[in-house]
Amino acid sequence: MMDGYEVLFFFEVLVGGLLAGLMYSLVAIGFVLIYKTSGVLNFAQGAMLLFAALTFVSLVNYGAPFLLAFAATFAIMIGLGFAIERTVLRPLVNRPPITLFMATLGLAYVIEGAAQLLWGTQVRRLDLGISDKPMEIAGLLISSFDLVAAAVAFGLVAALGAFFTRTRIGLAFRAVADDQFAALAVGLRLPRIWATVWAAAGFVALVAGLLWGARLGVQFSLSIIVLKALPVLLLGGFDSILGAVVGGLIIGASEKLAEVYLGPYVGGGIESWFAYVVALLFLLARPSGLFGQKIVERV
């Protein structure tokens, strides 16, 4: 059967896949935040990620120190969140979720175009000072960059978890997610909460954008990372942060394993669709994903 080297190689692929999956989770968490509180699948999340990364890199290139650039970009993302609430979400209040989804498609086009019109289309290098060299842990070669990214992902999940359960505004988010009308009735101000949620999603986009940008270079293809995050959401459920993490792990691992062990038989390049097939197979058994809320039908 498998000799020692092959077993080791298998685990290396597996761990590499799990860590890569957490990078997907980072993007997926931004979607979950917005979906949980407003029932909208925000297709513009990838464009926001691109916008954040491009803004950050441009500021750094102009000579801003890391922290200042980070703070300034975060401030811009907050402004963007409030602007989106004002111009897109508020006029579309009480419209079917699918309309809002199509609006976010349009929004993605606007943000992508604006980001590149403002900051240019060339690929920018982003150096976060984390080495991407593999190091040996328990006999496995693992990229230290991947480990840092994984730590950031878990840190973000922990922070969001604490935020949702320990703070007043987190509680308000959950109230809105639970029942919009009831939340309104007890005096929560929906517009402000939505704007805050979009700002929070902007923060997640910034963090994910920096890590992905450091890995791939900051360029247009960053906004296509949405397409990698969507199967993760299908699998984990659109409204579960835990689902985004577990979904990311499953998608990442199965994608890498399939690429290595299945790819050669079909000519490679299967990573563009394999994740979707995995997610669809899961969905046939559980139509709301692993951790998604069950849909209750009322007539």
Partner 1 sequence: MTTILALPETSRRILPRPSAALIWSALVLAVAYVAVPLFASRYVIEALLLPFLALSLAAVGLNLLTGYAGQLSLGSAAFMAVGAFAAYNFNLRLGFLPLPVSFVLAGLTAALVGVVFGLPSLRLRGFYLAVSTLAAQFFVQWALSKFGWFSNNNPSGVISVPKLQLAGFSLDTPTGRYLFSLTIVTLLSFFVWRLTRSASGRAFLAVRDGETAAKAIGVPVPQTKLLAFAVSSFVIGVAGALWAFTYLRTVEPAGFNLDRSFQILFMIIIGGLATIRGAFLGAAFIVVFPLLLARAGAFLLGGIFDSGVLDMTQRIVIGALVILFLIAEPKGLAALFDRIGARLSATAARLIGSSSPSPRS
Question: Which is closer to partner 1, CB of 7 or CB of 280?
Answer: 280
Question: Which is closer to partner 1, CB of 102 or CB of 216?
Answer: 102
Question: Which is closer to partner 1, CB of 190 or CB of 210?
Answer: 190
Residues 19, 148 contacting (CB under 8 angstroms): no
Give me the least distance between CB of 232 and partner 1, in Å please.
10
Residues 246, 291 contacting (CB under 8 angstroms): yes
Give me the least distance between CB of 70 and partner 1, in Å please.
26
Give me the least distance between CB of 295 and partner 1, in Å please.
6
Give me the least distance between CB of 151 and partner 1, in Å please.
29
Question: Which is closer to partner 1, CB of 188 or CB of 283?
Answer: 283
Question: Which is closer to partner 1, CB of 173 or CB of 238?
Answer: 238
CA-closest candidate to residue 247, choices 23, 16, 34? 23
CA-closest candidate to residue 150, choices 15, 49, 16, 22? 22
Question: Which is closer to partner 1, CB of 35 or CB of 145?
Answer: 35
Give me the least distance between CB of 296 and partner 1, in Å please.
11
Give me the least distance between CB of 104 and partner 1, in Å please.
9
Point out which residues bind partner 1 (CB under 8 A): 41, 87-88, 91-92, 95, 97-99, 101-103, 105-114, 116-117, 121, 227, 230-231, 233-234, 238, 266-267, 269-270, 272-273, 276-277, 279-280, 283-284, 287-289, 295, 297, 299
Give me the least distance between CB of 164 and partner 1, in Å please.
22
Return d(Cα 209, Cα 58) in angstroms, integer: 13
Question: Which is closer to partner 1, CB of 15 or CB of 84?
Answer: 84
